[in-house]
């Protein structure tokens, strides 16, 4: 492996925790309709999730001394978010893909704010009941101060660098621009990361991959 590393001509980077610090913080929590009950439901769903973004939401709500409540049928949805049932109502926390797939309506004002946050390289998370988005959460994960220089150094050595992320297109583009990356892929599923590695290998490239998440393991093994 060490010998092969000398011949690497393509390097793939995960975004969260690799290019960024991996310490996400909620910068904005905007409620369409905010009741104490809704806050408790959001808190409880995110408490059950193992995602770093969920931890950021939990930390934010802890500041408001929110408590948890009983939920049923909690389910983690790969590359989308989570869902559970509270008092016979299904609630979801996740990305816009999860909302669209379940035909959940998002108000124009929240959509406009989401676009603005994504252009600021923030990740947007939606919280909904069965029909409507109740809250919009913007989460920032600062870029490591060393990332831009490291990527430039790799470019200078003639190594192609790609960023692969499950995050949305706008946020991915904003991060890529900030670190001087021409190549990136957004909304990538874990299996698609591995498929991309295979594709490059078939083209005769020697590929290295840097990632720290369980969702990178498939591509790292390849």
Enumerate the active-site residues: 14
Cα–Cα distance measured from residue 53 to residue 27, given in angstroms and rounded to the nearest whole number: 12
d(CA 215, CA 112): 30
**Size (the chain), residues:** 222
d(CA 57, CA 220): 29
Q: What is residue 138's three-state secondary structure?
A: strand
Nearest Cα to Cα of residue 86 among 125, 48, 37, 134: 37
Is there a contact between 44 and 194 (Cβ–Cβ < 8 Å)? no
Closest CA to 90 of 100, 79, 75: 75
Matching residue, tokens 């939920």: 71
Q: Residues with Cβ < 8 Å from 71, sequence gap 6 or more?
A: 41, 44, 45, 48, 84, 85, 86
What is the separation of C-alpha 87 from the centre of its chain, rounded to a whole number of angstroms? 29
| Whole-Å CA distances, 107 to 85, 171, 174, 197 | 23, 20, 24, 39
């Amino acid at each position: 492996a060490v010998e092969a590393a000398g011949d690497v001509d393509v390097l793939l980077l995960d975004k969260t925790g690799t290019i960024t610090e991996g310490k996400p913080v909620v910068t904005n929590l905007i409620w369409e309709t905010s009741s104490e009950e809704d806050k408790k439901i959001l808190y409880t769903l995110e408490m059950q999730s193992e995602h770093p973004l969920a931890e950021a939401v939990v930390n934010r709500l802890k500041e408001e001394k929110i408590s948890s409540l009983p939920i049923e049928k909690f389910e983690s949805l790969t590359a989308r978010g989570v869902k559970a049932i509270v008092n016979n109502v299904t609630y979801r926390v996740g990305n816009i893909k999860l909302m669209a797939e379940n035909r959940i309506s998002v108000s124009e004002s929240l959509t406009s704010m989401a676009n603005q946050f994504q252009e600021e390289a923030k990740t947007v998370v939606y919280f909904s009941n069965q029909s409507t988005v109740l809250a919009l959460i913007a989460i920032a994960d600062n870029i490591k101060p060393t990332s831009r220089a490291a990527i430039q150094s790799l470019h200078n050595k003639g190594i192609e660098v790609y960023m692969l992320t499950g995050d949305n297109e706008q946020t991915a583009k904003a991060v890529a621009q900030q670190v001087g990356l021409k190549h990136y892929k957004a909304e990538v599923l874990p299996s698609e990361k591995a498929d991309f590695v295979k594709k490059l290998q078939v083209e005769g490239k020697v590929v290295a991959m840097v990632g720290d998440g369980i969702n990178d393991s498939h591509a790292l093994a390849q």
